[in-house]
Amino acid sequence: MIKNRIDVLVWVVLFNCLILVSTGVNAACPAVLNVRGPSSITYDPSGPDLLWEGSVSVSGGTLVCPANPPGTYPISGYIAYNEHYDGIGTPNGNIYESGIPGIGYRLWLEGSTVAVAGRYWPTIVRGLRWLGSFTINPHTMRVQLIRTGPISQGGLLSGVFGKISAGGMTDVILYTWSPAIVVKPSVPTCVVITPSVRVPLGSVPRAEFAGLNSTSASRPLNIGLSCSGGDGIRGVNVYTTLTDNTNPGNRSTSLTLTSASTAKGVAIQVLKNGAVLGYGPASSANGNTNQWFAGTSSGGILNIPLTARYVQTGPTVTAGSANGVATFTMSYK
């Protein structure tokens, strides 16, 4: 469930007991905290949208900031301020972009003594008694990696990914991945290297059609994929759905001619290994109507050889131009 920024009217001690000891040590504001997670994270690119979840450890540190920073205000003899807990960038609800295409993250602090424990960032609480200098105890936080779109590769979680601001001071505490975490798919991911395929069927004499369902000679075509990544053990199964661009609701095995075509009584068939393929919705969902198995890849180039031909669909064939457009949607399992 997506939770949006909320403003809870609860007074808490600065940084919710993560910061416990006042100190006079001369250190920097902001404090940069190193966050250590697993050395690598493996995810299933065709699995659930929650790709990974785990606890990560946060180093302690020392914070020295002005005793009365801008944005604070007196209340009942104390100094009060707002604490803002944020990731980096503009979130979609509570999900921030990780820097890896198609993968976002969300996070929250853990620990029963932390007022914001279990609350997704971004969030706000109110604090009292800004003293300026503190020791920050080591603690833990929870991180989730979330699918935000198509995933075609892995990458690194590195750099600053979380921050706490207080009063009018931004970025008082920064959370940074140290060391960086390698994120990689458990099976290869693929990208299409032939996004547009033209298939000249040539000029076919009308006499070549002998009656209903008779066909012309087939012409070859190829859909190409480039696949990479994975654990080197498991391959990825590739499935494909063809969609009739002129008539998206078409579920037959005959591709509708475009409206500019002038020929009558014919349609186009696409075949794989001699079997005529049907048309379905432009969806990558498992079990999509007329979805078919294209092949398996453990990495490298995967070619999907097909053929196309004309088929007679009416009692007579009228000469003219006969063009069709189909799209293809890939699914990986």
Least confident range of 72-76, 107-111, 274-278: 72-76
Lowest mean pLDDT among 61-70, 139-148, 214-223, 254-263: 61-70
What are the tens digits of pLDDT across the range 302-314? 999 999 999 999 9
Instruction: Give how many domains the chain has, as a whole number.
Output: 2
Residue indicated by tokens 């453990």? 298
For the chain, give the percent of residues with pLDDT over 90.
59
Q: How far apart are the C-alpha atoms of 287 and 94, rounded to whole Å?
A: 31
For the chain, report the end-to-end CA distance as a whole number of angstroms: 26
Query: Tokens 């590195």 map to which residue?
Result: 158
Q: Whole-number mean pLDDT of the chain?
A: 84
Is the model more confident about 135 or about 225?
A: 225
Residue 265 belongs to a domain with what CATH number?
2.60.40.1090
pLDDT interval class at 57 (50, 70, 90)? very high
Q: Please check whether residues 22 and 164 belong to one and the same domain.
A: yes
pLDDT score at 47: 81
282 in the same domain as 160: no
Residue 180's pLDDT is what?
96
Does 154 lie in the same domain as 92? yes
Mean pLDDT (whole number) for 2-24: 33
**Which CATH number characterizes residue 49's domain?**
2.60.40.3310
In which domain, by residue range, is 72 found? Answer: 7-184
The letter for the amino acid at 144 is Q
- pLDDT reading at 20 higher than 70: no
Q: In this predicted structure, what is the pLDDT of residue 23?
A: 38
pLDDT for residue 169: 74
Is residue 88 pLDDT above 90, yes or no? yes
What the block records as the tokens of 198 is 């033209």
Tell me the β-bridge partners of 215.
311
Whether residue 282 is predicted with pLDDT greater than 50 in this model: the reply is yes
Q: At residue 26, does pLDDT exceed 50?
A: no
**179 in a domain, yes or no?**
yes
At residue 44, the pLDDT reads 83
Q: Are 116 and 67 in contact (CB under 8 A)?
A: no
- Region of poorest pLDDT, from 22-36, 48-62, 63-77, 240-254: 63-77
Are 128 and 77 found together in one domain?
A: yes
> Domain end: 159, 184, 209, which one?
184
179 with 239, same domain: the answer is no
Q: What are the C-alpha distances in Å from 162 to residues 11, 34, 107, 136? A: 22, 11, 8, 15
Q: Is 1 among the domain residues?
A: no
Say whether pLDDT at 317 is over 80: yes
Residues 30 and 127 in one domain: yes
Place 290 in a pLDDT band, splitting at 50, 70 and 90: very high
